[in-house]
């Protein structure tokens, strides 16, 4: 769904003990989620739209390298004035990390993380069931660049329901736009699962009280 394209400052509360690895991992994953959500917006300029469209059809999604390159290319397509950048960090108890970014997407990420925390074991079990189903149907080996018509009717039906279930538990509002981007239900499912894995990392920071995304929406 279209959101206000307004860049501003968004502060995330920090607490507990952070390692150097945490200081890399959290901003890195947050930026990947931000880039993905931005790619589902109505985009300008034209060069950004073209690059994002190519990215959604470039990778086979048969292993980790597809995800790494997918998110890197999406990040590169964001206009500079709307990219997520660090404005300030204060490391104390409590402290903060202050980001300059598209505020509406920061609030969307907060919503997704909080949905994941609330869903708890239900979404973890669903993810495991989906991965088991993908393995049993040997869908992990299929390149998602193949056309939808090359998937059996049974497999298409298997794919569509998990997409809806995962989106619902995550509070993900843009499943229709994701399908438009991929033009392939298997690609949509694999991207949605990769989004879940990244949100799960952010949710762990929340659950361990290292970040706080549960404050008021007013910034």
The answer to whether position 218 is within a domain reads: no
Please compute the mean of the pLDDT values over residues 21-37 and round it to a whole number. 97
**pLDDT on residue 214:** 63
Q: Is residue 2 in a domain?
A: no
| Residue 219 placed within a domain | no
Domain membership of residue 1 (yes or no) is: no
Mean pLDDT of 74-98: 93
Task: Give CA–CA dist 110/59, Å, rounded.
Answer: 28
- 89: which strand partners? 97
Model pLDDT for residues 127-143, shown as the tens digit of each residue: 999 999 988 877 776 66
CA distance 40 to 191: 12
Q: Which domain holds residue 109?
A: 8-212
Please check whether residue 3 lies inside any domain of the structure: no
Question: How many domains is the chain partitioned into structurally?
Answer: 1
Q: Assess if residue 194 is contained within a domain.
A: yes
Average pLDDT over residues 67-87: 93
Cis peptide before 45 (omega within 30 of 0): yes
Residue 129 in domain: yes
> Residue 201 burial by CB count (10 A; 0-12/13-18/19+): exposed, middle or buried?
middle
Task: Tell me the CB-side half-sphere exposure of residue 200, using CA atoms within 13 A.
Answer: 15
- Dihedrals φ, ψ of 14, to 5°? -120, 145
Question: Which pLDDT does position 218 carry in this prediction?
Answer: 47
The lowest-confidence range among 41-50, 57-66, 93-102, 142-151 is 142-151
Averaged pLDDT of the chain: 88
């Amino acid at each position: 769904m279209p959101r206000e394209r307004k860049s501003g400052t968004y502060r995330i509360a920090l607490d507990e003990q952070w390692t150097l690895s945490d200081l890399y991992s959290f901003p890195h994953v947050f930026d990947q989620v931000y880039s993905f959500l931005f790619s589902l917006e109505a985009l300008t300029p034209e060069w950004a739209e073209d690059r994002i469209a190519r990215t959604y059809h470039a990778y086979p999604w048969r292993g980790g390298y597809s995800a790494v390159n997918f998110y890197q290319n999406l990040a590169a397509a964001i206009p500079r004035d709307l990219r997520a950048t660090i404005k300030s960090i204060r490391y104390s108890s409590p402290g903060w990390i202050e980001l300059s970014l598209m505020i509406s997407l920061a609030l969307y990420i907060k919503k997704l993380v909080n949905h994941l925390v609330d869903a708890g074991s239900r979404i973890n079990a669903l993810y495991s069931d989906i991965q088991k189903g993908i393995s049993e149907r040997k869908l992990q080996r299929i390149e998602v660049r193949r056309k939808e018509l090359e998937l059996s009717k049974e497999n298409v039906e298997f794919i569509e329901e998990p997409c809806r279930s995962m989106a619902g538990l995550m509070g993900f509002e843009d499943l229709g736009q994701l399908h438009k981007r991929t033009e392939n239900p298997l690609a949509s499912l694999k991207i949605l699962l990769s989004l879940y894995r990244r949100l799960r990392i952010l949710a762990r920071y929340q659950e361990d009280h290292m970040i706080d995304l549960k404050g008021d929406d007013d910034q």
